[in-house]
Amino acid sequence: MEKYFIVDSSILPDSFEKVIQARQLIESGKYKKVSDAVKQVGISRGTFYKYKDLVFLPEENMMDRKAVISLLLENERGVLSKVLMTISDCDASVLTINQNIPIHNVASLVLSLDISHIQATIDELTSHIKEIPGASNVALISIE
Protein backbone atom coordinates (compact mmCIF):
# COMPACT_ATOMS: atom_id res chain seq x y z
CA MET A 1 0.00 0.00 0.00
CA GLU A 2 1.35 3.38 -1.01
CA LYS A 3 1.37 6.18 1.58
CA TYR A 4 2.04 9.85 1.06
CA PHE A 5 3.40 12.35 3.56
CA ILE A 6 4.07 16.05 3.63
CA VAL A 7 7.39 16.56 5.37
CA ASP A 8 9.80 19.43 6.00
CA SER A 9 12.49 19.45 3.35
CA SER A 10 15.21 19.73 6.01
CA ILE A 11 14.87 16.00 6.76
CA LEU A 12 15.09 14.91 3.11
CA PRO A 13 18.17 14.29 0.99
CA ASP A 14 19.24 17.27 -1.14
CA SER A 15 18.74 15.16 -4.24
CA PHE A 16 14.94 15.36 -3.87
CA GLU A 17 14.97 19.13 -4.21
CA LYS A 18 17.39 18.88 -7.12
CA VAL A 19 15.06 16.44 -8.89
CA ILE A 20 12.27 19.01 -8.56
CA GLN A 21 14.57 21.76 -9.84
CA ALA A 22 15.60 19.67 -12.84
CA ARG A 23 11.98 18.84 -13.64
CA GLN A 24 11.08 22.54 -13.46
CA LEU A 25 13.95 23.40 -15.82
CA ILE A 26 12.64 20.88 -18.35
CA GLU A 27 8.97 21.87 -17.94
CA SER A 28 9.81 25.57 -18.34
CA GLY A 29 11.61 24.84 -21.60
CA LYS A 30 14.95 26.18 -20.36
CA TYR A 31 16.43 22.74 -21.06
CA LYS A 32 15.10 20.24 -23.54
CA LYS A 33 17.33 17.32 -22.53
CA VAL A 34 17.24 15.62 -19.15
CA SER A 35 21.02 15.25 -19.24
CA ASP A 36 21.45 19.04 -19.49
CA ALA A 37 18.98 19.78 -16.69
CA VAL A 38 20.47 17.26 -14.25
CA LYS A 39 23.98 18.52 -15.00
CA GLN A 40 22.83 22.06 -14.19
CA VAL A 41 21.45 21.06 -10.76
CA GLY A 42 24.17 18.53 -9.95
CA ILE A 43 22.48 15.11 -9.89
CA SER A 44 22.75 12.00 -12.01
CA ARG A 45 20.21 11.01 -14.64
CA GLY A 46 19.59 7.85 -12.63
CA THR A 47 18.61 9.89 -9.57
CA PHE A 48 16.33 12.03 -11.70
CA TYR A 49 14.54 9.07 -13.27
CA LYS A 50 14.28 7.25 -9.94
CA TYR A 51 12.48 10.11 -8.18
CA LYS A 52 10.96 12.32 -10.91
CA ASP A 53 7.44 10.94 -10.44
CA LEU A 54 7.68 10.62 -6.66
CA VAL A 55 8.67 14.05 -5.28
CA PHE A 56 6.58 17.19 -5.65
CA LEU A 57 6.28 20.67 -4.23
CA PRO A 58 2.97 21.74 -2.76
CA GLU A 59 1.60 24.38 -5.09
CA GLU A 60 0.55 27.83 -3.98
CA ASN A 61 -2.85 27.25 -5.56
CA MET A 62 -4.03 23.77 -4.64
CA MET A 63 -7.42 24.39 -6.24
CA ASP A 64 -6.56 22.57 -9.50
CA ARG A 65 -5.19 19.29 -8.28
CA LYS A 66 -4.98 16.35 -10.62
CA ALA A 67 -4.01 12.71 -10.28
CA VAL A 68 -3.49 9.84 -12.67
CA ILE A 69 -4.21 6.27 -11.59
CA SER A 70 -3.93 3.01 -13.45
CA LEU A 71 -5.62 -0.30 -12.80
CA LEU A 72 -6.71 -3.56 -14.33
CA LEU A 73 -10.39 -4.44 -14.71
CA GLU A 74 -11.91 -7.83 -15.25
CA ASN A 75 -14.23 -7.88 -18.24
CA GLU A 76 -17.41 -8.10 -16.18
CA ARG A 77 -20.52 -5.96 -16.35
CA GLY A 78 -20.55 -3.11 -13.83
CA VAL A 79 -16.90 -3.14 -12.70
CA LEU A 80 -16.02 0.15 -14.41
CA SER A 81 -19.27 1.64 -13.16
CA LYS A 82 -18.34 0.75 -9.56
CA VAL A 83 -14.90 2.32 -9.99
CA LEU A 84 -16.44 5.53 -11.33
CA MET A 85 -19.02 5.58 -8.52
CA THR A 86 -16.27 5.16 -5.92
CA ILE A 87 -14.39 8.10 -7.41
CA SER A 88 -17.56 10.17 -7.41
CA ASP A 89 -18.37 9.18 -3.82
CA CYS A 90 -15.02 10.67 -2.77
CA ASP A 91 -15.91 13.92 -4.59
CA ALA A 92 -13.26 13.48 -7.25
CA SER A 93 -14.08 13.95 -10.93
CA VAL A 94 -12.93 11.94 -13.92
CA LEU A 95 -11.19 14.06 -16.55
CA THR A 96 -10.18 11.30 -18.97
CA ILE A 97 -10.58 7.55 -19.29
CA ASN A 98 -8.24 5.45 -21.41
CA GLN A 99 -9.24 1.81 -21.50
CA ASN A 100 -7.76 -0.90 -23.67
CA ILE A 101 -9.73 -3.83 -25.01
CA PRO A 102 -9.77 -6.84 -22.69
CA ILE A 103 -7.06 -9.41 -23.32
CA HIS A 104 -7.47 -12.67 -21.44
CA ASN A 105 -10.59 -11.11 -19.93
CA VAL A 106 -8.67 -8.20 -18.34
CA ALA A 107 -8.54 -4.59 -19.56
CA SER A 108 -6.02 -1.95 -18.53
CA LEU A 109 -7.41 1.42 -17.54
CA VAL A 110 -5.79 4.80 -16.95
CA LEU A 111 -7.86 7.54 -15.34
CA SER A 112 -6.96 11.20 -14.94
CA LEU A 113 -8.84 12.76 -12.07
CA ASP A 114 -9.63 16.22 -10.76
CA ILE A 115 -9.03 15.86 -7.03
CA SER A 116 -9.54 19.53 -6.15
CA HIS A 117 -12.53 18.74 -3.93
CA ILE A 118 -11.68 15.21 -2.85
CA GLN A 119 -13.16 14.24 0.52
CA ALA A 120 -10.55 11.55 1.22
CA THR A 121 -6.84 11.15 0.81
CA ILE A 122 -5.57 9.76 -2.47
CA ASP A 123 -4.43 6.70 -0.48
CA GLU A 124 -7.98 6.18 0.78
CA LEU A 125 -9.39 6.57 -2.72
CA THR A 126 -7.02 3.99 -4.20
CA SER A 127 -7.73 1.65 -1.27
CA HIS A 128 -11.49 1.92 -1.91
CA ILE A 129 -10.94 1.10 -5.58
CA LYS A 130 -8.78 -1.91 -4.63
CA GLU A 131 -11.73 -3.27 -2.63
CA ILE A 132 -13.95 -3.44 -5.73
CA PRO A 133 -14.29 -7.03 -6.97
CA GLY A 134 -12.80 -7.17 -10.46
CA ALA A 135 -10.41 -4.23 -9.96
CA SER A 136 -6.73 -4.97 -9.36
CA ASN A 137 -3.24 -3.51 -9.69
CA VAL A 138 -4.50 -0.06 -8.64
CA ALA A 139 -1.59 2.39 -8.68
CA LEU A 140 -1.13 6.12 -8.42
CA ILE A 141 0.92 7.17 -11.45
CA SER A 142 1.25 10.88 -10.70
CA ILE A 143 -0.29 13.70 -8.75
CA GLU A 144 -0.01 17.47 -9.03
Consecutive H or E run containing 83? helix 79-89
E-strand stretches of 84-126 = 93-99, 106-114
pLDDT at 52: 87
- pTM for this model (two decimals): 0.59
CATH tag, 66-143: 3.30.70.260
Task: Quick: pLDDT tens for 41-50.
Answer: 999 999 999 9
- Higher model confidence: residue 8 or residue 133? 133
User: Binning pLDDT at 50, 70 and 90, where does residue 1 land?
Assistant: low
Indicate where the chain has its CATH 3.30.70.260 domain(s). Answer: 66-143
